[in-house]
Amino acid sequence: MKWYEVELEIPILGKNFETVQSTDLETAKMIALIKTESQYNVSRDKIFITKIKEVNL
């Protein structure tokens, strides 16, 4: 599994960064969306992914 850093934009709240472990890029996006959605109680359709990159930890 690889580590990904996902940058998300939440209207009014600003930017958020999530570091997630996943097998691929699309799964990493979904994990980050779910984590951010539950953490900030914001609907998934109001969260925008601005950047995602693989990181070596």
DSSP string, 24-43: SHHHHHHHHHHHHHHHHT--
Measured at the CA of 25, the angle between CA 23 and CA 28, to 5 degrees, comes to 75
In whole angstroms, what is the distance from residue 8 CA to residue 50 CA?
A: 6
Question: What are the φ/ψ torsions at residue 23 (nearest 5 degrees)?
Answer: -80, -30
Q: 45: helix, coil or strand?
A: helix
Q: What is the pLDDT of residue 57?
A: 75
Per-residue pLDDT of the chain (57 residues; tens, 9 = 90+): 999 999 999 999 999 999 999 999 999 999 999 999 999 999 999 999 999 999 987
pTM, two decimal places:
0.89
